[in-house]
Amino acid sequence: LAHSDPFGLRVDTPALVGTSSNASSTLQKYLPNAPRISVGFQMYVESEEFPVGQGGFVILASLAFDQAGGVIFYRTGSGTWFGVAPSGERKKLPIPVGVGSWKSVKMVLRNTPLDGGVDGEAYLVLDGSIAVTVPLPAAFQSAAISPRISLGAAGTGPVGAFRASFDDVAIYYGD
């Protein structure tokens, strides 16, 4: 793989044949809660298998805000998605993120009230262009919450084996 070197992260998860099977291989880091948080990285999905109509998924990156929920970037058999879990808005990326090519990804969170409202926003930048934007719930703004970044593969079955590489990770938080 062109980008991988001794400082890259390569993740593998086994085939998860049961509907409640889980497996993960992730790098995790806690951050102070800040009005602006971004996580950028290069990603290469080497192989994946999603049984048709089975509902399995693999989370590639997330920012979890304790029990309040989190922002997730994930793949399913129908495509690549970005959004707020467990009950926020999720959108399918309009640009395909195919197997076998490097992609530049950046998750950006504006975790502060915007436009006179209470919610912030989260958006995903893919290869330099904003692909999707979703509202970021006001509950994520609590200073008592330390967001946790997870980068790698966290699969929930049924899914087949999954392999991906991550490189050039950059994390920013502040005003």
Where in the sequence is the domain holding 167, given as residue range(s)? Answer: 9-174
pLDDT tens digits for range 88-118:
999 999 988 889 989 999 999 999 999 888 9
48 located within any domain: yes
Q: Strand 90-92 relative to strand 79-85: parallel, antiparallel, unpaired?
A: antiparallel
pLDDT band at 19 (very low <50, low <70, confident <90, very high): low
How many separate domains does the chain show?
A: 1
Q: What is the spatial distance between Cα 38 and Cα 42, in angstroms, rounded to a whole number?
A: 14
1 located within any domain: no
Helix (H, G, I), strand (E, B) or coil at 98: coil
Residue with tokens 């009950």: 87
Q: Say if pTM beats, i.e. exceeds, 0.85.
A: yes
For residues 83-88, give the mean pLDDT: 92
**With left for phi above 0 and alpha for psi between -120 and 50, is residue 20 left, alpha or beta?**
alpha
Identify the pLDDT of residue 49: 84
3 located within any domain: no
* CATH at 97: 2.60.120.200
92 located within any domain: yes
Q: Return phi, psi of residue 99, to 5°.
A: -75, 140
Identify the pLDDT of residue 1: 38
142 located within any domain: yes
Q: In what order do the strands lie in the sheet with 162-174?
A: 9-13, 162-174, 36-47, 102-110, 120-126, 129-136
